[in-house]
Structure 1
Amino acid sequence: MMNTEWISKYAPYIYFDNNEPFFPVRVGVTVLEEAGPSPSTRRTFAFDEPGLKYIIEYAIYWDYDIQHLYELEHVWIYVGQNDEVIDCDASFHGRHFKGLLRDRSNLVDGTHVKLYSQPGKHAFMPQADMFYLLPELMLATDEYAGRRGLLITGPFDGVYSTDDETDRKVELYLQSFRFKPAMEFWEYRIDSALYTTWEQLHAEVPVRIKERLAEIDEFLGGKEK
């Protein structure tokens, strides 16, 4: 049985924009105890950090990104031999950055790394001002809402498919959520009820996508007549 109290002890504190419309719905957790690949994304760990005991991988799932149906971002917490946080990585649009600042000033309550979520897009940074480096920061959540339709990424290659009509419907739906980021943020703590294994989350995602597409059809039904 999953120890949600222990998982919650190291979970990141996420800071969302005040106008954010979408929040995590599931979190797949894996504890990595030796060198090897991540089960949920294209990344391999060497386990060569001094004093490293294990890495907790949080695969954080949203039903929607402002530009496409379904979002999966990651946080990796590096835990040392004395159960201290020694490092953190956080995903950013298929890549990753260090999530723990050099002075450790964004480590809250001893074990929780404070991370900011890009408005609407959910990629992570340890400081909110870093988002201003993105040329499409404001356009992504507004004019560009929905433009990528139903996204298919690595863990789900061949699990489900999309087409032009599906992508069009997703875009129309997400256009109804377009917004301007406030660039003011509030603290969100992951509810322990959201935790599951990566294997269970991987099985759930296609079901959730099917359910969301049915809801989109219902939403658009009266709008396209």
Structure 2
Amino acid sequence: MTNWNADWIATYAPYLYFDRNEPFFPVRVGITVLEASGPSPSTRRTFEFKDPNLQCIIEYAIYWDYDIQHLYELEHVWVYVGRGSEVLDCDASFHGTHFKGLLRDRGNLVDGTHVKLYSQPGKHAFMPQADMFYLLPDLMVATDETAGRRGLLVTGPFDGVYSTDDETNRLVERYLKTFRFKPSMEFEEYRIDPALYTTWPELHKEVPLRIQNCLADIKEALRKEDSAHA
């Protein structure tokens, strides 16, 4: 479906919940509407349209300039829309894999079309219940002691689009450590501004430019810090 509009996409957009101490929020959302079996354009996943009631799958590729451990973050939410405009199901990404985003009793479906999802503090992977994050052994250290440890991340759809090196990774780690925090595990609702929506091809072109700008900002911020302590 190439003729989608922002109002229709907003009708099914997930309601996200971020930790009260979260330092980073989405800056762009790449939209793809899938209407037949095939691969996702933005991540390593393939879909099959076996349910005759399934009309389309809306893919929300949610982009952040920063994860607490690395420069850039891309997570996904997939909303399955039925032929009667109802929400049939939802999936949400989680560190390279995905889980069901819609609870079995559909108790986290708000206003009939919005799936309520919790974002892992600092790391942004999604779960339908916040208590599930306590199963992660590094829940608290990931946002604090190990902040910035992965530098400039190069994965998935951006393999070969840009590169990194030890010096870049060192600068990113140093910068992100200034944002380290302890999760409060108290979550506040965040609704995606439709102004953030774009097509996936446009977002794919935009990301390398955003990375360049972030690196320039990081170098300037650290230069000022060094000057202040000289």
| Bucket of the pairwise TM-score, normalised by the shorter protein | over 0.9
CA shift for structure 1 position 50: 4.3
Aligned to 1:9: 11
1:77 to 76, 79, 93: 79
| Map 1:1-225 → 2, pairs under 5 A | 2-224=4-226
Inter-partner Cα distance in structure 1 for 2:5 and 2:156: 28
Inter-partner Cα distance in structure 1 for 2:84 and 2:51: 14
Inter-partner Cα distance in structure 2 for 1:49 and 1:155: 28
CA shift for structure 1 position 48: 1.4
Q: Answer whether contact 1:2 1:196 (CA < 8 A) is retained.
A: no
Q: Percent sequence identity over matched residues?
A: 77
CA shift for structure 1 position 46: 1.1
- Return 43-52 or 12-21, whichever deviates more: 43-52
Inter-partner Cα distance in structure 1 for 2:114 and 2:11: 7
Inter-partner Cα distance in structure 1 for 2:154 and 2:51: 33
Q: What does the per-residue CA deviation read over 1:109-163, in whole Å, with 9 as the maximum and x for residues that have no partner?
A: 0000000000000000000000000000000000000000000011001100000
Runs of 4+ in 1 over 2 A off after TM superposition: 222-225
Instruction: List runs of 5+ in structure 2 lacking aligned partners.
Output: none
Distance 1:133 1:50, change over 3 A: farther
Inter-partner Cα distance in structure 1 for 2:186 and 2:121: 10
Q: How well do the aligned residues superpose, as a CA RMSD in angstroms?
A: 0.8
CA shift for structure 1 position 224: 3.6
CA shift for structure 1 position 223: 2.9
Instruction: List runs of 5+ in structure 1 lacking aligned partners.
Output: none
TM-score (norm 2): 0.96
